[in-house]
């Protein structure tokens, strides 16, 4: 446990990769390789069609299951969408919301992200809210403004009590899948800003407790220095989470005791 009392979380986003069988096999390898004394939280987010199979493998383990997205409606004429109760039925306790690929490729706005947050919370699903700036926004000094807007939009109309379990993932878009990781200092700086924003919205108690993950080309060989930063509480990992040995190394990062 870190000195700040925030339980670290390492999450794997498997994106649109793997069949159900392949995902179940990888989940089984993760389960088998996990240190039984590990105290922090581990989350796997397979594609929708693999949720049931992965859940069957994880049953009774300490690894949580997440979807990569969730609809804001419970049921009805929403072709292609998957509702909070449907992901719950598949075994999910968490849902990634507002990933930059959803924002960019599927044109999700902060308003849509906010509706999904509310629907997940109502269904007792823990949102893993993704925020982050593009390269252009960073280079034109708009990083803080973008983060502030995304956070204000995502949490609009949500009480501190409702937001209690939310996990935030700061993922600079320029670092996702590019091999360009933010330096530990850049990431720490953004995390401090995000925490200040959460203090503005919900107060210091909330800001001190909320977990902020870093995402963007996290690898087995950079996780330790990232996790050594005081405001980085975990990682959301894409590419590196597809390889059992590498992802296990990320999960068993070495920085906890120095925090
Ligand atoms: C992600 O998918 O959220 C991500 C951070 O991907 P990668 O680790 O591959 O950059």
pLDDT digits (tens, 9 = 90+) for 236-255: 999 999 999 999 999 999 96
pLDDT attached to residue 4: 84
26-42 pLDDT, tens digit each: 999 999 999 999 989 99
Which domains are present in the chain? 9-251 (3.20.20.70)
What is the Å distance from ligand 1's center to 252 Cα? Answer: 18
With 60 as the cut, is the pLDDT of residue 256 above it?
no
Distances from the Cα of 128 to the Cα of 13, 55, 171, 175, angstroms: 11, 18, 12, 18
The residues near 225 (Cβ < 8 Å, ≥ 6 apart) are 184, 255
Name the pLDDT band for 150 (thresholds 50, 70, 90). Answer: very high
With 90 as the cut, is the pLDDT of residue 259 above it?
no
Q: How far apart are CA 197 and CA 163, in angstroms?
A: 14
Q: How many C-beta atoms lie closer than 10 Å to residue 131's C-beta? A: 29
The mean of the pLDDT values for the chain is 95
- What is the pTM assigned to this prediction? 0.96
- What is the percent of the chain where pLDDT is above 90? 92
Query: Cα 148 to chain center, whole Å?
Result: 18
With 50 as the cut, is the pLDDT of residue 5 above it?
yes
What is the Å distance from ligand 1's center to 235 Cα? Answer: 9
Question: Does any ligand 1 atom lie closer than 6 A to the CB of residue 203?
Answer: no
Helix %, strand %, coil % for the chain, to 5? 45, 15, 40
Question: Does any ligand 1 atom lie closer than 6 A to the CB of residue 236?
Answer: yes
Q: How far apart are CA 14 and CA 50, in angstroms?
A: 10
Is 137 an annotated catalytic residue? no
User: What mean pLDDT do residues 191-211 have?
Assistant: 98
Pocket test for ligand 1, best of 68, 239, 247 (most atoms within 8 A of CB): 239
């Amino acid at each position: 446990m870190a000195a700040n009392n925030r339980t670290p979380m390492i999450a794997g986003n498997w994106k649109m990769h793997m069949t159900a069988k392949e995902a179940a096999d990888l989940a089984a390898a993760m389960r088998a390789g996990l240190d039984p004394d590990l105290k922090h939280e581990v989350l796997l987010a397979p594609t929708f069609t693999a949720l049931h199979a992965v859940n069957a493998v994880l049953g009774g383990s300490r690894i949580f299951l997440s979807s990569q997205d969730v609809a804001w409606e419970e049921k009805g004429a929403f072709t292609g969408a998957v509702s909070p109760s449907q992901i719950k039925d598949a075994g999910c306790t968490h849902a990634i919301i507002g990933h930059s690929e959803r924002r960019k490729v599927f044109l999700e706005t902060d308003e849509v992200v906010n509706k999904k947050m509310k629907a997940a919370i109502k269904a007792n699903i823990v949102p893993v809210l993704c925020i982050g700036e593009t390269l252009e926004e960073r280079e034109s000094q708009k990083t803080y403004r973008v983060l502030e807007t995304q956070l204000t939009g995502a949490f609009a109309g949500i009480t501190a009590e409702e937001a209690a379990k939310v996990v935030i993932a700061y993922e600079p878009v320029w670092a996702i899948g590019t091999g360009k990781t933010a330096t530990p200092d850049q990431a720490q700086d953004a995390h401090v800003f995000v925490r200040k924003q959460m203090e503005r919205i919900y107060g210091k108690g909330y800001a001190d407790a909320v977990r902020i993950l870093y995402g963007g080309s996290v690898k087995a060989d950079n996780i330790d220095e990232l996790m050594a930063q005081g405001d980085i509480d975990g990682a959301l990992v894409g590419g590196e989470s597809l390889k059992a040995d590498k992802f296990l190394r990320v999960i068993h990062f070495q920085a906890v005791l120095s925090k």
